Amino acid sequence: MSSVDNGSIESVSEKASRIQSAKSYLFTTLLKDLLGLGPSIIISKLYSNGRLTLRELSAKTKIGKRKVQGILVKLIQLKCVKYFAPSGSKKPTVNYYVNEEGLLIFLYSGEIIASIKKKYSDDLMAEIIQNFLNYGNLTLSDYLSNLESHKNENQNKENQNKEKDENGSENRDEDDNDEDLDEKSDIEKKFNILIQDGWIVPIKSDIEFQNKYDIYRELYQKNYAKYPKATSISEIKRKKEVKYSTEIDFNKLFEFSKKDIYESDNSFFNKGANTMFGSDSFGSSKIKQDLAFKFSLARFFKHMRSVCLVKIVNQRLGPVSSKVFGLVMQKIEKNSQDCSKFALDFADVYLNLNSKMESQGDSTIIASSDIPAKSLPQYLSYAKLVLDAENSVCFTLQDIAALLKKREDIDLSNSIKFKSVHSNKRKNRDNQNMGPATKKIKQENEILAMQVLNGNHNDSDEEGDENTEDMDEKHSVGALYQHLELMANSSIPFLRRNPNGAYYVPFSELMSKTKEMNFMYLVKSVLGRNEFKVLNCIIKSKLIDEKALINHTLLKDDDLRVCINRLFKLQAIEVQEIPKTVDRQANRSAFAYRFNKKFNTRLLENNLLHEISLIFNHINETKEKNKLLLGKANREDIKGKEEDMLLTSELNQLKWLNENELNCVSRIHRARSIWEVFAIF
């Protein structure tokens, strides 16, 4: 392919990706910088067409089949593309799809490595994760062999510059062998920690790179064909039973047990459950050398969600409460439910909940076809609460108190106003309204909150002065209990209590509140207070006309119209015509305003991704304009001697380039942190 062809294809693909979607524009720009022009063109075509065969890709990209095949192998390895070949046919047609998992890993690669370094304070763990990001998936034997080959190369280079001493070389070889054994065992321990914490997960090579939706569809068709078509069973019931059996078969394909991951004796596997994360105790078992692992992006987004929520608690309740909430997230983060990006579609969850409640005979839940339109939003909110309560990881006061003892940087003394349990009449009135089981557990928690969990338990009838002395301590359990109650009773539900008295984090309810809060903050900071006030009234009223808005916002007519005009230009609100006559005359119609939450969320996501893409392009264009200066500064004879070898004007230009790039990276980080709240969490 000639250079002219390259330039024309590049310009056409860039224009196409910019027009078709914000995601395509961002990821093609990113891949062009990291992997080159060919992969970015292929990803752009896959975004445009949904799925393509090898022949269609070659025809649309005007690249040879063999070259396209080589690029696809690289992209599949890096989880940027997935494929599917139907089973049962002699010559199956292989279709290729975009896999956003690898593209998101490219976007967050720096953040991933920085998070691992900060969490474990270990460069070796960060290096292991970096290798997973570079190669897509690795086995332990591959990692150790690559490490050994790099060492041998470095040793050969050193030996070429030194004279060999036979006696000294024997002693050196023995020391090197001991060091290699220690290093290998250390690497295996680090692998084990990363597996236990869920940062790397095992994969099955035969199905990992295939499209999971096609696998599910093929399993469903097979099970449906096997199912006996009896006349006594309705079609709806048959499909429901086939769907249930398909879900079981589908989950079995991706399940891993301890025996699949570790090489150990039977006594090890008899401890606890036989699932991958059934027990935190993995003992000193050895990882299977030939089992492939990959980096878990879902686990990383759980960590990012925790960081986001801790910041919100800091903003709403203060720094001490945020540190306590950080302990809560440390306790439940690994086993908490996945972010919405990796969870099931809520429509499927909604139908599954219906069938589950029907099978249990719950009269409060009715079939989805029988729900009137007015009660559907209420049902969905109730379903979210039920799913949060069932799927969340619960914890108690004792769990957080045990973690608090290990943290010397958290000081709870005088951090919150303390009230004695026995003198608080309001709590006594609340306790009278509770059931006997819940009231008993809550009273036990309150009594426990007055005691220090160091073996010296005080009686619950002690004086309030002794309780206040407990509150002055650094790791006071009473203060900890008050902080947990503060988060549970906040207007934003950071914590909830279940009927057993334990706490849990209601992620779906909490994240929906967080999205609303972030959206309104953006409106207020970008447009102003008046626009924020108008939009807030429209959201609360759902459908409101201009006269009612004037009464609610107390704004003048002209000011209100300016605010509505600005909101309408940004597509933040919609206008609905309400005809007053049968012939729908425009001069006799009323116009009302409403807010479309789903549309505005998607619009904001696309705008943020487009902004990130523009910043990336600005960085690349700036580097292209100054490539001669950058090439000169990167020469080996000039590195470290820039002040002596470069002109003053060149030094000033280099300084400006560095500051400009830092500014652009910080803008990308801010836009990405807002986008992930709406798109990922």
| Region of poorest pLDDT, from 46-60, 196-210, 271-285 | 271-285
List the CATH number of the domain containing 91: 1.10.10.10
Highest mean pLDDT among 48-52, 300-304, 439-443 belongs to 300-304
When comparing pLDDT for 187 and 229, which is higher? 187
Q: Look at residue 369 in the predicted model and tell me its pLDDT.
A: 36
442 is a domain residue: no
Residue 75 lies in a domain: yes
Q: Tell me, what's the pLDDT at 463?
A: 42
Q: Is the pLDDT of residue 306 over 70?
A: yes
Contact call for residues 30 and 616 (beta carbons, < 8 A): yes
The domain boundary residue, chosen from 267, 295, 323: 295
Identify the residue whose tokens are 């729900």: 371
Q: Mark whether 334 and 216 lie in a shared domain.
A: no
User: In the structure encoding, which two tokens stand for residue 663, read together?
Assistant: 């500014």
Pick the more confident residue, 311 or 364: 311
Question: Is residue 562 located within the same domain as residue 668?
Answer: no
Q: Could you give the percent of the chain with pLDDT greater than 90?
A: 37
Tally of domains within the chain: 5
Per residue in 210-236, pLDDT (tens digit) is 988 888 888 998 888 888 876 677 888
Give yes or no: residues 495 and 606 share one domain: no
Q: How far apart are CA 549 and CA 534, in angstroms?
A: 7
The boundaries of the domain holding residue 261 are 115-162+172-295
Q: What is the pLDDT of residue 194?
A: 93
Tell me: do 478 and 368 sit in the same domain.
yes
Residue 659 confidence (pLDDT) above 60: yes
pLDDT of 586 strictly over 80: no
Q: Is residue 120 part of a domain?
A: yes
- On whether the CB atoms of residues 37 and 64 are closer than 8 A, the answer is no
Is there a domain that residue 329 lies in?
Answer: yes
Picking from 42, 73, 98, the residue at the C-terminal end of a domain is 98
Would strands 137-139 and 51-52 be described as parallel, antiparallel, or unpaired? unpaired
Residues 290 and 320 in one domain: no
Angle formed by the axes of helices 100-120 and 297-317, nearest 10°: 60
Per-residue pLDDT, 438: 47
CA separation, residue 579 to residues 33, 582, 584, 595 (Å)? 54, 7, 5, 20
- 330-339, 423-432, 623-632: range with lowest mean pLDDT: 423-432
404 and 330 both lie in a single domain: yes
CA distance 153 to 644: 35
**Rounded CA separation 57/53 (Å):** 6
250-280 per-position pLDDT tens digit = 888 888 877 888 876 544 444 444 444 444 4
Report pTM.
Answer: 0.81
Q: Is 220 within a domain? A: yes
Judged against a pLDDT cut of 60, whether residue 167 lies above it is answered with: no
Residues 274 and 187 in one domain: yes
Q: What is the pLDDT of residue 207?
A: 87
Q: Is 18 in the same domain as 44?
A: yes
Same domain as 212, residue 150: yes
On the question of pLDDT at 172 being above 70, the answer is: no
Which has more confidence, 419 or 157? 157
Confirm if 371 and 363 have CB atoms less than 8 A apart.
no
Question: Do the domain assignments include residue 521?
Answer: no
Question: What is the C-alpha separation between 567 and 302, in angstroms, rounded?
Answer: 34
Tens digit of each residue's pLDDT (9 = 90 or more) over 348-366: 444 444 444 444 433 333 3
**216 and 236 share one domain:** yes
Single-letter amino acid code for the residue at 322: S
Record the tokens describing residue 369, joined without a space.
């076809």
Does a structural domain hold residue 425?
A: no
Calculate the alpha carbon distances from 234 to 121, 228, 230, 240, 436 in Å.
60, 12, 8, 10, 45
Question: Among candidates 427, 356, 414, which has minimal Cα distance to 390?
Answer: 356
* Same-domain pairing of 571 and 621: no
- Out of 248, 267, 295, a domain closes at 295
When pLDDT is averaged across residues 309-331 and rounded to a whole number, the result is 93
Tokens standing for 524?
Answer: 């207020």
Is 357 found in the same domain as 250?
A: no
pLDDT (average), residues 336-352: 57
Position 445 in a domain: no
The CA-to-CA distance between both ends of the chain, in Å, stands at: 43
Sign of CA dihedral 391, 397, 402, 408: positive
